[in-house]
Chains A and B, each alone.
Chain A
Amino acid sequence: MDLEPIWLSLKLAAITTILLLFIGVPIAYWLSRRQTIFKLIAEALITMPLVLPPSVLGFYLLLAFSPNNGFGEWLHRHFDLQLVFSFKGLVVASIIYSLPFMVSPIKSAFAHLPKSMEEASFVMGKSKVQTFFKVLLPNIKPSIFTAVVLTFAHTLGEFGVVLMIGGNIPGETKVASIAIYDAVETMDYASANYYALILFAITFLIVIGVFIINKNAVKSPFE
């Protein structure tokens, strides 16, 4: 049996999660500070992938990435980058698609830290950057962990966006969820079951892991 789609899914999820950690933490911090209209709009846009059908997002990304259109053509001309039907394109799309899963728990954690904690650090002469790394970030570790796991699991289960902009190229864009769909289409239920079971097992283990590690927290990590 061909394990490549599983590896591709895991690779996509891992790369997306790592990149999103660096992108999501600063955005979450920025959003958690003083509320402005501009931030409200930014937060709404970041949250959109939660409620938007993946095919809608995928459709617009397909248009944006297409070498026949402005942005896609610019990427192609200046960076020789082709995002449609490529693994790189899947990574970019996954980052956009999973952004709320990384940002939302971390933003909420930053917002719940008492203001006096930050002030206590400032008054000791520490800069905003020192305060961020020595005081704020270490005290939201459980939320960062939750965000990382949710992002990873969500990217692993991605289907609609991948199908729209990645297609079904073995070794490049044929991730596990696509492989299941592809197998069912060709009436190959044995393969579909094989991929589905592996995905089910991985996701189940991830969720169990979150519950075990967060057992001290009163609320479920998905609240």
Chain B
Amino acid sequence: MIAIDINKRIGRGPGSFRLQVKTVFQFNSVTRILGPSGVGKSTLLKILAGFITPDSGLIKFGDAVWFDSQIKYSKMVQERNVGFVFQDYALFPNMTVAQHLHYGSDNADYINQLLELGELTSLKERLPRQLSGGQQQRLAILRALSTKPKLLLMDEPFAALDSALKIRIMERLKSLFEEQQTTVLMVTHQDQEWEHPKNQIFNLLSQED
């Protein structure tokens, strides 16, 4: 399981607040992170990825320590084997759809499988600026999966997809997560489709100090 017990002050001066999270996430589960906007949901994902360092605390992924403020240790982003879907997609404007996936994987079969999953096979030679918002979002999801991450962090990953497409993609993602034993944490508002006995909802509440 992933054990988190961290503390991070966000912002400075008036309007700053403290993000305090103490929880565990089970391996191979899908957890939806809910909470009002501005409460630090995205920050929590970035802390888990290693983009942001907490002020204090401990993060453990199974037996591996990812962050420990006591010994001043923070595992490098590159070594965490995490997938991340950014809210702004963060696609590479210089790379085609296929090149995005090749950047994360050398396995041509797996890349084709991902392209089919995201229904982007016919668009694989296109650059991000030649894609619609929904297509860009799907590419962002596929790119995050290209490295076969153990932990997948997604920030509003389906916001730009229409409901029929969303349901198709989600079904395929579910089986892929099952197959690859992926642990998933996502910030999302609706998407009740993920409800399942082993899946969780984590409510991040506003914290005053």
Contacts and interface: CB of A to CB of B under 8 A. Distances in A.
A121 B77 CA distance: 10
A139 B103 contact: no
Interface in B88-124: 88, 90-94, 103-104
B88 A116 contact: yes
A124 B146 contact: yes
Given A124-B103, A124-B146, 20 more contacts: A114-B90, A116-B88, A117-B90, A117-B92, A119-B51, A119-B86, A120-B143, A121-B103, A123-B50, A123-B51, A123-B80, A123-B82, A123-B144, A124-B104, A125-B79, A134-B103, A138-B94, A139-B92, A139-B94, A141-B94
Contacts of B91: 120
B84 A126 contact: no
B192 interface: no
Interface in A108-165: 114, 116-117, 119-127, 134-135, 138-139, 141
* Interface SS of A by simple majority: helix
A127 B78 CA distance: 7
A127 B76 CA distance: 10
Given A138-B94, A139-B93, A139-B94, A123 B88 contact: no
Contacts of B50: 123
17 contacts: A116-B86, A119-B49, A119-B77, A119-B84, A119-B86, A120-B91, A121-B103, A123-B78, A123-B82, A124-B146, A124-B147, A126-B103, A134-B103, A135-B92, A135-B94, A138-B94, A139-B92
Nearest to B88: A116
Interface residues of A, number: 17
B54 interface: no
Contacts of A127: 78
A61 B113 CA distance: 62
- Classify chain B's interface size: 20 to 34
Interface of A: 114, 116-117, 119-127, 134-135, 138-139, 141
B157 interface: no
Interface in B5-22: none
A11 to B, nearest CB: 33
Nearest to A118: B90
Contacts of A126: 78, 103
A130 to B, nearest CB: 9
A122 B78 CA distance: 5
B81 interface: yes
Contact of A120 (B78, B79, B84): B84
Contact of A123 (B83, B92, B93, B94): B83
A150 B83 CA distance: 41
A135 B143 CA distance: 14
